[in-house]
A = this chain, B = another copy of it.
Amino acid sequence: MSGIFYGVGVGPGDSELLTVKAVKVIEQADIIIVPKSGSTQDSTAFNIAKPYIKPETEFLPMVFPMAGKQKDWTDAWVENREIIGKELDKGKKVVFLTLGDPMFYSTYIYVFNLLKEANYEIYTVPGITAFCGIASHVGFPLVEGDDVLSVLPATTDEETIEQTMKYSNNLVIMKVSKNTNALVEKLKENGFKNAVLVSRCGLPDEEVIHNLDDVTDAKVNYLSTILARRN
């Protein structure tokens, strides 16, 4: 009997924002994969889930190189598939933790595709996205009625940003760091009168700026998120 591979969204940061299902899956895990990329994101997901991890759960450290959109898996990915597959073949419940939601801008998508190709049984538990967490935390309604909400990384190309601003009344701009001045100018030009910039949401050094005029490159110290509404 083959085991099951679980992808679990741990939400934006607060350990109480995991779902009841996510907690159950983590509590029953035989093995939790701990990514070794050294990025803060990975250890953040682990720390959020920590209160629910049983002492007897094993940890499986694993390096996941950047996958991009390639179809061909590199040796490192093939090796990971073999290591995970060996545990699944023993009937183990193997859990991969991911910040926010697993199907939304996440390394998990590559792990999911890798194991799906190999026909392993996969069960994915959704999570609260960072933008939903921020909207509730700062009291900023995201989208109403028949309006369009677009989610875009500030790192995408300029034409895409401009066109998206033109046709969406509601925006979530992620990964805001450099060029904040230019981005804020564009938001103002396109009539986004309601906006909020949030860094380190829910943490002791959280920063929330409600007025776009107060957003400057100098003030944005971390990767931030901007929520904006035209109306």
Contacts and interface: CB of A to CB of B under 8 A. Distances in A.
Interface of A: 7, 9, 11, 14-21, 23-24, 68-69, 101-105, 109, 112-113, 116, 122, 124-129, 132-133, 135-137, 139-153, 155-157, 160, 163-164, 166-168, 231
Given A147-B156, A150-B151, A164-B168, 8 more contacts: A16-B24, A125-B136, A126-B128, A129-B129, A148-B152, A149-B152, A150-B150, A150-B168
User: Which applies to chain A's interface (DSSP): helix, strand, loop or mixed?
Assistant: mixed
B116 A139 contact: yes
B136 A103 contact: yes
A67 to B, nearest CB: 9
Count this chain's copies in the assembly.
2
8 contacts: A16-B19, A16-B21, A103-B132, A105-B144, A112-B141, A127-B128, A149-B152, A164-B167
A104 B131 CA distance: 10
A211 B75 CA distance: 32
Contacts of A168: 150, 164
Given A19-B18, A19-B19, A143-B105, A132 B136 contact: no
A181 B84 CA distance: 42
Contact of A148 (B11, B127, B156): B156
Given A103-B135, A141-B112, A146-B156, A17 B14 contact: no
A130 to B, nearest CB: 10
Contact of A126 (B135, B143, B167): B135
Contacts of A126: 17, 128, 132-133, 135-137
Contacts of A122: 139
Given A11-B19, A124-B139, A132 B147 contact: no
A164 B147 CA distance: 11
Contacts of A20: 15-20, 23
Q: List 5 A-B pairs, minimum CB-CB distance, nearest first.
A: A16-B21, A103-B135, A124-B136, A126-B136, A163-B167
